[in-house]
Structure 1
Amino acid sequence: MLVSLRFTLFISLATIFSLATVFRTVYSFAATAIDILPPAGSGSFGSHIRTLPNGNFVVTDPTFDIQTPNFVADAGAVYVFTRNGELISRITGKCQNDNLGSNGITVLHSGNFTINSPNVDLPVPESQNQNICIGGLTYVVPNVGTVTLGLGATGIEGVASVSNSFIGDHVNDRVGDSVALPNGDYAAVAIFWNGGRGAVSKRSGTVVGGEFVTDSNSVVGVSTVDFVGKVTVLPNGNYVVSTNRLANGQPASRLCILSEPCVGPMSDVNSLIGSPGVGVDFDGIYPLADGNYVLVNRGWNGERGAVTWVNGTTGLTGQVSSDNSLVGGTVRDFVGSRGVKALTNGGYVVLSEIWQDATATRRGAATFGPPGGISGVVSSVNSLIGAGTGSFSQSTIVPLTNGNYVVSLPNAILPGTGFLGAAIWGSGVTGISGPISISNSLYRGANIVVPLSNGNYVVASTSGFGAITWGNGQTGITGEISSANSMVGTDIDDRLGFGGVTPLANGNYVVSSPYWDNNGIQNAGAVTLCNGSAPVLGTVTTSNSIVGTKAMDQVGWGGAVALPNGNYVVRSDLWDNGTTANAGAVTFGNGATGVTGAVSELNSLVGSNIEDRIGNSGIKVLLNGNYVVTSISWQNKGAVTFGNGITGTSGAVSAANSIVGSTNDDRVGTYGNNNSTRVFADNTYAFHSANWDNGGIVDAGAVTLGKGNRQVNGTISSENSVRGTFTGQGTSLVFDYSTTAKYMVVGRGAAVSIFKYEQTAAPFDFDGDGKTDVGIFRPGPAEWWYRRSSDGQVPALQFGTSTDAIAPVDYTGDGKSDVAFFRPTTGEWFILRSEDGSFYSFPFGGAGDTPVPADYDGDGKGDVAVFRSTNNTWYIQRSSDLGVSIITFGASGDLPVTADYDGDGKSDIGIFRPGPGEWWYLRSSDGGNRAFQFGTSTDRTVVGDYTGDGKADAAFFRPTTGEWFILRSEDGSFYSFPFGGAGDTPVPGDYDGDGKTDAAVFRPSSATWFMLGSTSGTQIIPFGAATDRPIPNAFVR
């Protein structure tokens, strides 16, 4: 009963930070920022920052000075904080210059982390060295180093020592690196241990403990300067420990099984040992798709070279030989000199650029290794070999997605032709052997091979006219390149494909030809979409390509960038916008239909100033198919622009559609000359502008947080960025982002700042992916069915009765809607927690009340609330403090229409008065109210943020005609459109996750959903039955 609750009248007048209502995601980009000031003694607070899977984060301070009981300079400290900036733990070094955490943090798959500290000293009773440590002057072994495990939930406290760390015990052991292993454990690496012998130890990723490095807990070297310490993790979870100089120059590798101890000195009893020489290549261990691996020892046996297949479960021990390896037969064959390429079926191809035989030096060879490996001497029997000296110069192996491969030989001269350049298809089952020839080659200029996602491939011949040739991935293509089998240029210097060939996710591909001449206009450039399933013949024209119209437009100079959804974008930073030279353009293309005609402001994102060179700093792609364009030269200030991956983004770059600099040489979006954008797994992105000026503070720098479903725009400010505060700080800013807790954390020397946009889940978003889920409540059995937009799965559950009023919002604040209902007969609420599936219930309200849950207090959680029509009173139980607000607002017959009309992050109480079609709402921001007429008595209210400005728009659906009417919150104007028909049920929601409410209807006659996505376009999904109640209709009045 309500009378049993504590009553307080509560009407909010203001809010500190703008939060979203639980009915939608607000993209007004109101932001919160929390600054964590460094503690006393800090010297480099925030040198390294890493977020953890549970939402906490780790901060290093390697030059932290201990103040008491005595002063210890640069001992270092590492802190763990909650997502809200509350300190969980702190661990420090013990001695001067320990610099705890100086080599950073490694996040483990267990959710825990390691602290890497190679400078830590070991206090001992006797030593030749002394240092200032906690407690005063102390004998120490200097620079033994530590790797310390910290727990993601509780961190680690105290002082780094042998009691809690893996630690060396010799001078300059410099233990202090770690590699995360797939099972949550880690490999601690000490390459300089014990005079340079080196050591690698598998350590628990869940249990904090310490001990000294020894040969009983580590794989170790046998002599000084062995430098054991390279770790390669295999696809099956096991790992390989290697060195290229065991026992004075012998390459050695040892397989370690993830579930078993791996300790002791490396030898031919437990390791594979090569022979002295050039040694293992820098990247000499090649994991294969099936969990096995291949080792390259190109200096083996007089530099003949050897490549060895090793079982990734049982390993291989002993000496490398022709019995267990593919080897060269002649001194300086250097087998494997150009590496190994893994195929998708577990096979591989070895490339030996200067292999030779009796007839020619530096002939070269490509040798196929099947799953299980190949051994013996390289020859024409088991390998594709060159036709003469230099045939394999700059050669590459191109694996195809179907397991086959292509050998690209841009400098091979085909016997009997004099033509340079060949591409030769090889079977991923049997390989290809024998000399290169016109019978096994596609030849004459072939210099680039690109694999397509459907298993086929494309060969580009980019000199002269240029040609693009399609190859069947199952059979290959041979013969001379010509107009009979290729798309070709029309002018001598068209050089088709010079800007690259870009494979698309749908199997098609894009050819960039910046030197193509447009009917005499030199180097106008063209980019052409091609079918990836069949040969493409003919020439490049304005009817099949996007093209430049001025000399030196060089459309496609920066190539094309593939999007995950099959579409693409083209970079043309030298394109002229009319008389504006080098304005630059980025053009969106549909991956199925392409884009044709002239580049313009209508189809491209363009510059409007000389040398804007839009896109010249690159394009980063988000996992959802959207993209981010960085233009360092825009107005000499820089700009970063969000692009829509479904429809593209066009028009001139400006502060209205981009984050832009304010001062010359701000170079927004770059660090040095490099694109600084980082993309995260939840489609958020962030970029570092090292040279941005904060007013008069030169090069203060800033880190800006973007959103993956719509633009962030304007100048860099506190509303979108963490900014530096002193001259030259920009280059020292470091940052990370938590996909769990949706915040960015930035280390900026004087403080560590937590920054996040305040927003909650989309309405009726049960899987937390930011999109409304199609779902129904089936009254008969009281079943809930919904289709997760994230993966298409359809959970179903029974919860409630046929007469209950469904009321799903995010009551627990985890970003997911909770299945919930209000029982009108008793005034009880029942809520099923999305976190763990448990439920709770409680009374709030009475018989006949209307449930109106929403986030009235702005804490990111739905508040239970009812509207009592008998006395026109609202009863709201605030989740923030469990107090109750009682507000009289409305009149008999009014319908409640709760929403955040003023954009302050709190839901406003409101009513629709059917008789005169009037709307009334009470602003939470200032207590004022607004009233206006919009609609008729028979219209259905469908309130939402249709324009994406962070404020709810009054809106209604007219059932008799299937029309939608939206009153813009920005300016009070309205627009209308037809979507649906008579008898349809309106189900508004954000179905495409772009922060805007989408018009949608459920058609009971066919149990079909029709959604008009503001970004994605129309979707049609059959789901439910005629008598079901669609869940997104829950609050439509």
Structure 2
Amino acid sequence: MPSRVKFIKKGFILLYFCLLFRQQINAQSTDFQLPAPIGGQTITLKVLTNGNYVIADPYFNDGSIPQVGVVFLYDGLTNTLISTLKGTTAYDLIGLSVTALSNGNYVVSSPYWDNGNIINAGAFTWCNGTTGLNGVVNINNSLVGSSKDDLGASIYPLSNGNYILRCNSWDNGAITNAGAVTWCNGATGITGVVSSNNSLVGSHIDDYIGSDIVLLKNSNYIIISPNWKWDGGYGAVTWGSGTEGVKGEIGSNNSLLGRSEGSIGSEIFVLNNDNYVVLSNHWKSDSVNEAGAVTWGSGTNGVSGYIDVNNSLVGIGEGNPNIIPLTNGNYVVMSPQWRKLKDGIENVGAVTFCDGFTGTSGVINSNNSLVGADFASELGNSVIALSNGNYVVNTPLWDLDTIKLVFNGTKYDTIKVRIENVGAVTWGSGTEGIHGVISKYNSLVGTQANDLVGLGIIPLRSGDYVTISSLWNNETIPNAGAVTLCPGNASVTGEVNKFNSVVGSTAYDHVGNGGVAELTNGNFVVSSYSWDNSTTGTVDAGAVTLYNGLKPFKGEVIELYSLVGDKTNGNVGSYVTPLTDGNFVVSSPAWDNIAGAVTWCDGFSFLGATVNNLNSLVGSAANDRVGYKIVPLSNGNYIVASPFWDNGALNDAGAVSFGGYGFDLTGAISKNNSLVANEAGAWLGYNGLRTLSNGNYVVEYPDWDNGTIINAGAVTWGNGLTGTSGDISSSNSLVGSSIGERVGISVVALTNGDYIVKTAGWDNGAISDGGAVSFVSGINGLTGTINSCNSVLGTTIGSGSKTVSEFNYIYNYLLVVRPLDNIMTRYDQADATLASAKANNSVNIAGNGDLPLLSNDCKLIATIETGVSNGTLSGTVNSKLWIDGTQSAKYAKRHYEITPASNASTATARITLYATQSEFNDYNNQIPSPTLLMPTNSNDNLGIANLRIEKRGGTGDENGSPDSYQGPKQIIDPADKDIVWNNIQNRWEISFEVTGFSGFFITTGSIVLATNWLSFTGNLNGEKHAILNWKVQEQAVARYEIEKSINSFQFSKIGVLNSKGEGVNSYSFMESMVLSGEGYYKIKQIDKNGNYTYSRIVKLFANENPLLSIFPNPANDKVTLLVDKALLNKKIVLTDLCGKPLQVLTINELSLNIKIGNYANGVYILNFEDGTRRKILKQ
């Protein structure tokens, strides 16, 4: 059922007030005249969290008073005007901005509002998001300034619905630019004048209180005021309560203060436990001869007083210190310019672990920090936080001091030798840290000069990490490279070697220089694009190697288990892109003289191959650079952008290709496998690739030429299941039709998978730049040219650049405001005008959601909702509508044929059919009268209960005659609640789930069925087997098929009982499998002539059986499955959410352990032979 029906009930009438003139423009748009002409320069449109919306025009002229500004609040359901707020003085510019709060209310900012004779004093006006605010801005309904330019400020909404006003140039009486920060109640607002009674304020000239504000996740906030100076203090950082705020003047009782100018609050870091850290790298103190400080603050109480060694970690240096928050709430301080006081050595560097719950104070030293040993070590330039709360310090420029024996002619002397830049990687505990000096006893280190161990660190989801040392020297082999998998819960110490790392075997292999990619299944891919193929003798051929995340990660890169190149400088593996289904894509744009290649690889069992045109998408000419960009889709598929691909003689035309599991994307790029441009220099795919949340995608090409029409522009919807290929044209894209329209210059993806195309330069006939806003379904796209059927059109010259739009997610429609037309338009995709004559059309569906089936003239045929209870309908769907001229004795005049191009007999979805009351009246007025009548009005509950849908399989003749369908017949009884009268569109809407598509006829229960269902019940016996009992009055019945589902929609056959013959008979069926959790059962009655109908659905629920349970769940490493004897010797399959098989197990014992430790965190499914599925949460 279309989502619009969710809020329209039978008999509910929408009232439109006289302030608005409502006009039905076309199939899907409703225009509303705005209450008064607006200024038309800058319009704000804001949808609130309650579904109401605000339209603000700061340049609105109130009669002869110019630009006083106006703010309207509208009801999001009825689109009626709720309130009007205006200014009173010329150039008040009321509503220069509007801020929506999380509780549904909103705040109007008017910095140029005049407070009597005080010009531009400014005002902030809180408004109720349900009732709005009528009248004019004044001191009684707003927080206002008392001096010129007082409130040119910013609003910071808090997560609890309250908000903060930052006015750092506010004047405190004669004290100019003192600054103020005001906490405001988001449920009631605040009124009056800004003062120390309601705000934190400065008390001296140019204090500029509130230069910046940092919000905490707990709704508290931090105020940064570096210019504050008083009482020996310089700069202030003030904590504020998100429920009460902070007010008065700054002092040591409510703020953290510095001792010298510019010495506090260089940056604020919010920790993962909602505490915070103040970095003050220019802080100095006479008592501590070191610069820089880090001060911890409580997120619930803050910190106050002056920075000193008792409340701060000091001595971090003034250079480039940094803070790394850890996932467990603690933090690490990086001080690369820390110096050893004892030895006077500069820039040694230090890394200090700090407690994020109480803070850490004192002076940095080797007893509380990991420190460097010598001048310019600059330890602490890089620290990586791990997902498990620990951290890693990588220091690739670390030098190794060692002892060397030198023979002096008579004996061996020991001398100290420094090996430069061997590199080191040091693990730190996230609860205790690490201190002391780096050495091979606490770190993973190199052994030769310029090994640069730790040049890169890749943190993994598991908490482990990978160390990349692509310049590491393998004994006498220079720059062979090494990649080391390191546990995230303990130190790895000693030297990098081939026994603990994956290494190169040829000079300058640079193993790992392409990075390491972690796949969603827990495996790893090591990319080494400079690897030399010794088999073919090619330098820099490149290799990409898959490693099992559970097996040892060491040894030389082996060609047998790698995707390799055989072209000199082919650099296979320049980029690796993991896909959501556990597989991955290798992009090698330099392959074969920079023709480029893109290779899809199995992330579970890749055995190795050489890149060629039989296993890869490749370019046809030098510098095609195929694989310039890979964009993964949410469903496991991907798109390839090759903007430099030459389309024959058209250089750099560009192409966008689609690939995925089971999709053979190999060979040369062409219009048969890719969307291609037909213009030189088009660079299609360089920009303008947008993924949708439903797995589909959009290609934006505003510079596309429509024949001789230059820069007409095009937007192409891409099918995320099969891709979209061919030349860009109006048959596969939404295109422009005039010079310079540039369709696709602005595309906005919505969170529901749909998208909006804004075309400011679209010409509405002779109206240049009238503009258009097109709402596009994300499950089938939009093709052709912009018109009134598919878009909201501007009707005034230049309107396009002034038009604003926003999607209302609460009520599911697009809202467009055209200020130059003085029109507000509501665009409902599902509210097209009902087709009134024979119609047909085809759509291509990919994804889940509501999709109106529209005729070529944009009239509504029917609506399909995919994805409901795992609906499976996808691909091309053909729809036809007939309205018979004469009344049939059995059916309403309006009937349908909806047929998927593939799997028509098994596809599932929810559909909505439509009918008019006059069509029901024609059925009811037959002579002789039908036994059961259709509804006579919206309150006719008996008529609603009589309605049935007769589904006939196959396809019909050109008139859609019922008898022309050769497939089986099924009678569907829609739920009464899903038969709705739509008062707005004056039509009946009948929704129901269906399996199998064909002809649909609206009828009543007067049709004689082979089976009259007298009763159907179900229960569980003591062993949790389902017992189904039904009693029927039957004639000409062949058999009864028992079907089961675990999700109420996808059913499978679990048994068959033959008919006992004509008359009243009773049947009973017991399911062989034990029921676990929920089970849905229905009976399919099949006539002797092949027609069938279904019983109602019976739902049974079995409580968790101790003999059939999974524990622990959630789990980290393994789960244990306890089973009933009935499951012995049965197979179970563990899959991911995409259905990818991960393990196939046979249940040989009543207790079975299933290892899941190597998989990524997420949901996995255990699939039993009877169709039962159980979820496992890995975390």
Give unmatched runs, 5+ long, in structure 1: 22-30, 125-138, 671-675, 763-768, 774-786, 793-852, 858-864, 874-887, 901-908, 918-931, 968-980, 986-1002, 1013-1020, 1033-1037
Q: Which residue in 2 is equivalent to 1:53? A: 102
* Structure 2 SS opposite 1:141: coil
Structure 2 residue aligned with 1:254, among 278, 295, 311?
Answer: 295
Measured after TM superposition, the shift of residue 556 of structure 1 is 0.9
Question: 1:435 and 1:855, CA in 2 relative to 1: closer, same or farther beyond 3 A?
Answer: same
Q: Which residue in 2 is equivalent to 1:490? A: 566
Q: Which residue in 2 is equivalent to 1:544? A: 615
Question: 1:727 and 1:197, CA in 2 relative to 1: closer, same or farther beyond 3 A?
Answer: farther
Question: 1:50 and 1:445, CA in 2 relative to 1: closer, same or farther beyond 3 A?
Answer: farther
Greater shift, 458-467 or 687-696, is seen at 687-696
Q: Which residue in 2 is equivalent to 1:465? A: 541
Measured after TM superposition, the shift of residue 377 of structure 1 is 0.8
Structure 1 residue aligned with 2:335, among 289, 297, 321?
Answer: 297
Q: Contact 1:288/1:347 (CA < 8 Å) preserved in 2?
A: yes
Measured after TM superposition, the shift of residue 54 of structure 1 is 4.1
Measured after TM superposition, the shift of residue 749 of structure 1 is 11
Question: 1:380 and 1:227, CA in 2 relative to 1: closer, same or farther beyond 3 A?
Answer: same
Q: Contact 1:630/1:669 (CA < 8 Å) preserved in 2?
A: yes
Q: Which residue in 2 is equivalent to 1:69? A: 116
Measured after TM superposition, the shift of residue 319 of structure 1 is 1.7
Measured after TM superposition, the shift of residue 327 of structure 1 is 0.9
Separation in structure 1 between the aligned mates of residue 951 and residue 449 of structure 2, nearest angstrom:
91
Question: 1:772 and 1:279, CA in 2 relative to 1: closer, same or farther beyond 3 A?
Answer: closer
For residues 248-285 of structure 1, give each alpha carbon's deviation from its aligned partner in whole angstroms, at most 9, with x where no partner exists. Answer: 773322222333343332222222223434241xxx11
Letter of the structure 2 residue corresponding to residue 343 of structure 1: L
Question: 1:432 and 1:723, CA in 2 relative to 1: closer, same or farther beyond 3 A?
Answer: farther
Q: Which residue in 2 is equivalent to 1:929? A: none
Greater shift, 69-78 or 183-192, is seen at 69-78
Q: Contact 2:56/2:96 (CA < 8 Å) preserved in 1?
A: no
* Structure 2 SS opposite 1:245: coil
Q: Contact 2:57/2:96 (CA < 8 Å) preserved in 1?
A: no
Q: Which residue in 2 is equivalent to 1:374? A: 434
Q: Contact 1:349/1:368 (CA < 8 Å) preserved in 2?
A: yes
Larger Rg: 2
Q: Which residue in 2 is equivalent to 1:228? A: 265
Separation in structure 2 between the aligned mates of residue 112 and residue 267 of structure 1, nearest angstrom:
34
Q: Which residue in 1 is equivalent to 2:1080? A: 1024
Q: Which residue in 2 is equivalent to 1:608? A: 678
Query: Which gives a bigger RCO, structure 1 or 2 (Cα 8 Å, sep 6+)?
Result: 1
For residues 229-256 of structure 1, give each alpha carbon's deviation from its aligned partner in whole angstroms, at most 9, with x where no partner exists. Answer: 6222222222222222222773322222
TM-score of the two chains, using structure 1 as the length reference = 0.66
Structure 2 residue aligned with 1:442, among 485, 492, 503?
Answer: 503
Q: Which residue in 2 is equivalent to 1:885? A: none
Alignment of 1:106 onto 2:156: yes
Measured after TM superposition, the shift of residue 445 of structure 1 is 2.4
Alignment of 1:365 onto 2:424: yes
Q: Contact 1:601/1:651 (CA < 8 Å) preserved in 2?
A: yes
Q: Contact 1:49/1:736 (CA < 8 Å) preserved in 2?
A: no
Question: 1:689 and 1:390, CA in 2 relative to 1: closer, same or farther beyond 3 A?
Answer: farther
Q: Contact 1:343/1:403 (CA < 8 Å) preserved in 2?
A: yes
Separation in structure 2 between the aligned mates of residue 436 and residue 529 of structure 1, nearest angstrom:
32
Separation in structure 2 between the aligned mates of residue 453 and residue 746 of structure 1, nearest angstrom:
41
Structure 1 residue aligned with 2:718, among 637, 640, 643?
Answer: 643
Separation in structure 1 between the aligned mates of residue 52 and residue 915 of structure 2, nearest angstrom:
19
Separation in structure 2 between the aligned mates of residue 374 and residue 312 of structure 1, nearest angstrom:
16
* Structure 1 SS opposite 2:1043: coil
Q: Contact 2:583/2:601 (CA < 8 Å) preserved in 1?
A: yes
Q: Contact 1:422/1:442 (CA < 8 Å) preserved in 2?
A: yes
For residues 10-59 of structure 1, give each alpha carbon's deviation from its aligned partner in whole angstroms, at most 9, with x where no partner exists. Answer: 9x9963687799xxxxxxxxx99985322544577776555443455555
Q: Contact 1:356/1:364 (CA < 8 Å) preserved in 2?
A: yes
Question: 1:348 and 1:651, CA in 2 relative to 1: closer, same or farther beyond 3 A?
Answer: same
* Structure 2 SS opposite 1:484: helix
Question: 1:436 and 1:13, CA in 2 relative to 1: closer, same or farther beyond 3 A?
Answer: closer
Measured after TM superposition, the shift of residue 299 of structure 1 is 1.1
Greater shift, 376-385 or 470-479, is seen at 470-479
Q: Which residue in 1 is equivalent to 2:207? A: 173
Separation in structure 1 between the aligned mates of residue 128 and residue 768 of structure 2, nearest angstrom:
31
Q: Contact 1:666/1:691 (CA < 8 Å) preserved in 2?
A: yes
Q: Which residue in 2 is equivalent to 1:884? A: none
Measured after TM superposition, the shift of residue 325 of structure 1 is 1.2
Separation in structure 1 between the aligned mates of residue 730 and residue 324 of structure 2, nearest angstrom:
47
In the TM superposition, 1:709-788 aligns within 5 A as: 709-711=779-781, 757-758=827-828
Q: Contact 2:644/2:683 (CA < 8 Å) preserved in 1?
A: yes
Aligned pairs, number: 819
Measured after TM superposition, the shift of residue 306 of structure 1 is 1.0
Measured after TM superposition, the shift of residue 689 of structure 1 is 7.5
Q: Contact 1:145/1:176 (CA < 8 Å) preserved in 2?
A: no
For residues 94-139 of structure 1, give each alpha carbon's deviation from its aligned partner in whole angstroms, at most 9, with x where no partner exists. Answer: 2555363544x333221333333332222x2xxxxxxxxxxxxxx2
TM-score of the two chains, using structure 2 as the length reference = 0.59
Structure 1 residue aligned with 2:276, among 232, 239, 261?
Answer: 239
For residues 568-626 of structure 1, give each alpha carbon's deviation from its aligned partner in whole angstroms, at most 9, with x where no partner exists. Answer: 22112223445544332222222465633443434433323333332211433344333
Q: Which residue in 1 is equivalent to 2:1022? A: none
Structure 1 residue aligned with 2:317, among 258, 271, 276?
Answer: 276
Question: 1:240 and 1:591, CA in 2 relative to 1: closer, same or farther beyond 3 A?
Answer: farther
Measured after TM superposition, the shift of residue 760 of structure 1 is 7.4
Q: Which residue in 2 is equivalent to 1:529? A: 600
Q: Which residue in 1 is equivalent to 2:377? A: 333
Separation in structure 2 between the aligned mates of residue 622 and residue 113 of structure 1, nearest angstrom:
32
For residues 987-1007 of structure 1, give each alpha carbon's deviation from its aligned partner in whole angstroms, at most 9, with x where no partner exists. Answer: xxxxxxxxxxxxxxxx98213
Separation in structure 1 between the aligned mates of residue 668 and residue 848 of structure 2, nearest angstrom:
37
For residues 467-513 of structure 1, give each alpha carbon's deviation from its aligned partner in whole angstroms, at most 9, with x where no partner exists. Answer: 11223434553344352342111211322122x11011222111011
Question: 1:544 and 1:285, CA in 2 relative to 1: closer, same or farther beyond 3 A?
Answer: same
Greater shift, 456-465 or 407-416, is seen at 407-416
Greater shift, 293-302 or 591-600, is seen at 591-600
For residues 489-545 of structure 1, give each alpha carbon's deviation from its aligned partner in whole angstroms, at most 9, with x where no partner exists. Answer: 1211322122x110112221110112333xxxx543221111223454121233322
Measured after TM superposition, the shift of residue 645 of structure 1 is 3.0
Question: 1:664 and 1:111, CA in 2 relative to 1: closer, same or farther beyond 3 A?
Answer: farther
Q: Which residue in 2 is equivalent to 1:850? A: none
Question: 1:58 and 1:702, CA in 2 relative to 1: closer, same or farther beyond 3 A?
Answer: farther
Structure 2 residue aligned with 1:348, among 383, 387, 391?
Answer: 391
Letter of the structure 2 residue corresponding to residue 417 of structure 1: I
Separation in structure 2 between the aligned mates of residue 748 and residue 116 of structure 1, nearest angstrom:
32
Separation in structure 2 between the aligned mates of residue 206 and residue 889 of structure 1, nearest angstrom:
72
Letter of the structure 2 residue corresponding to residue 317 of structure 1: S
Q: Which residue in 1 is equivalent to 2:582? A: 507
Separation in structure 1 between the aligned mates of residue 449 and residue 799 of structure 2, nearest angstrom:
54
Greater shift, 260-269 or 304-313, is seen at 260-269
In the TM superposition, 1:868-887 aligns within 5 A as: none
Letter of the structure 1 residue corresponding to residue 458 of structure 2: V
Alignment of 1:194 onto 2:243: no
Question: 1:289 and 1:716, CA in 2 relative to 1: closer, same or farther beyond 3 A?
Answer: farther
* Structure 1 SS opposite 2:166: strand
Separation in structure 1 between the aligned mates of residue 951 and residue 756 of structure 2, nearest angstrom:
49
Q: Contact 1:962/1:982 (CA < 8 Å) preserved in 2?
A: no
For residues 384-407 of structure 1, give each alpha carbon's deviation from its aligned partner in whole angstroms, at most 9, with x where no partner exists. Answer: 234455443992211122222112
Greater shift, 409-418 or 205-214, is seen at 205-214
For residues 764-822 of structure 1, give each alpha carbon's deviation from its aligned partner in whole angstroms, at most 9, with x where no partner exists. Answer: xxxxx98599xxxxxxxxxxxxx997999xxxxxxxxxxxxxxxxxxxxxxxxxxxxxx
Measured after TM superposition, the shift of residue 311 of structure 1 is 2.3
Question: 1:592 and 1:911, CA in 2 relative to 1: closer, same or farther beyond 3 A?
Answer: same
In the TM superposition, 1:694-705 aligns within 5 A as: none
Q: Which residue in 1 is equivalent to 2:632? A: 562
* Structure 2 SS opposite 1:556: coil
* Structure 1 SS opposite 2:310: coil
